[in-house]
A and B are shown apart, each in its own frame.
Chain A
Amino acid sequence: MTLLSVRDLNIRFTTGDGDVHAVNNVSFDLSAGQKVALVGESGSGKSQIALSIMGLLAKNAIVSGQVMFNGNNLLAASNDELNQIRAQKIAMIFQDPMSALNPYMKVGRQLSEIVELHEGLSRRDARIRAIEVMEAVQIPDAKRRLDAYPHEFSGGMRQRIVIAMALICRPQIILADEPTTALDVTVQAQIMHLLDDIQRDMDTAVLLITHDLGVVAGFCEDVMVLYGGRMMEKSKVGALFKSPSHPYTRGLLRAVPNIHDQTGQLHAIPGSPPNQMNAPTACPFAPRCNDVIDTCWQTLPELTGEDTQRACIQPVEALS
Chain B
Amino acid sequence: MTQPVLEVDNLHVAFPSRQGRKYPWSPMNAVRALNGVSFDLTKGQTLGIVGESGCGKSTLIRAIAGLNKPTQGSVKLNGADVDYDNRRDVLNLRKSIQMIFQDPVASLNPRMTIRDIVAEPLTAFRTDLNNTTRLEKVRNMLDRVGIAERNFNRYPHEFSGGQCQRIGIARALVVEPSILLCDEPVSALDVSIQAQVVNLLQELQRDMDLSLIFVAHDLGVVRHISDDILVLYMGSMMEKAAGKTLVSAPQHPYTQALLSAVPVPDPNVQVQSQVLEGDLPSPLNLPVGCVFESRCPKRASICTTEKPVSQDIKQSQVACHFAAN
Pair B263/A212 contact, Cβ less than 8 Å: yes
Verify B273–A241 contact, CB threshold 8 A: no
Distance in angstroms between the alpha carbons of A255 and B195 in the assembled complex: 6
Q: How many residues of chain A are within 8 Å of chain B by beta carbon?
A: 43
* A residues near B192, Cβ cutoff 8 Å: 41, 251-252, 255, 268-269, 288
| SS of B interface (majority) | helix
For A41, what are the chain B residues with a Cβ–Cβ distance below 8 Å? 190-193
Q: Chain B nearest CB: distance from A160 CB in Å?
A: 13
A251 to B191, CA, bound (A): 10
Residues of B within 8 A of A186 (CB): 52, 257-258, 261, 275-276
Nearest chain-A residue to B263 (Cβ)? A214
Q: Say whether B220 faces chain A, with CB atoms less than 8 Å apart.
A: yes
Instruction: Chain A residues near B264: list those with CB within 8 A.
Output: 214, 217-218, 258-260
User: Is A27 part of the binding interface, using a Cβ–Cβ cutoff of 8 Å?
Assistant: no
Asked if A213 CB lies within 8 Å of chain B CBs, one says yes
Task: Given A41-B190, A252-B192, answer yes or no on A257-B261 (Cβ-Cβ < 8 Å).
Answer: no
* Listed stretches B11-19, B64-72, B117-125, B196-204; interface member: B196-204
Q: How far, in Å, is B66 (CB) from chain A's closest CB? A: 28
- Known contacts A155-B53, A189-B275: A217-B263 contact under CB 8 Å: yes
Q: Does B90 contact A (CB under 8 A)?
A: no
Whose C-beta in chain A lies nearest to the C-beta of B295?
A: A186
Residues of B within 8 A of A (CB): 52-53, 160, 162-163, 190-196, 198-199, 202, 217, 219-221, 223-224, 243-244, 247-248, 257-269, 271, 273, 275-276, 280
Q: What are 19 A-to-B residue pairs whose CB atoms are below 8 Å?
A: A184-B53, A186-B276, A189-B273, A212-B263, A213-B265, A217-B269, A241-B265, A241-B267, A252-B192, A255-B191, A256-B220, A257-B221, A258-B265, A259-B219, A260-B264, A262-B223, A265-B199, A266-B198, A268-B193
Contacts A255-B192, A258-B264, A259-B223 known; list 13 others, CB within 8 Å. Answer: A42-B190, A185-B262, A186-B257, A186-B261, A193-B273, A213-B265, A217-B263, A217-B266, A218-B271, A241-B268, A259-B264, A266-B199, A268-B196
Interface residues of A (CB under 8 A from B): 41-42, 154-155, 184-190, 192-193, 211-218, 237-238, 241, 251-253, 255-260, 262, 265-270, 272-273, 288
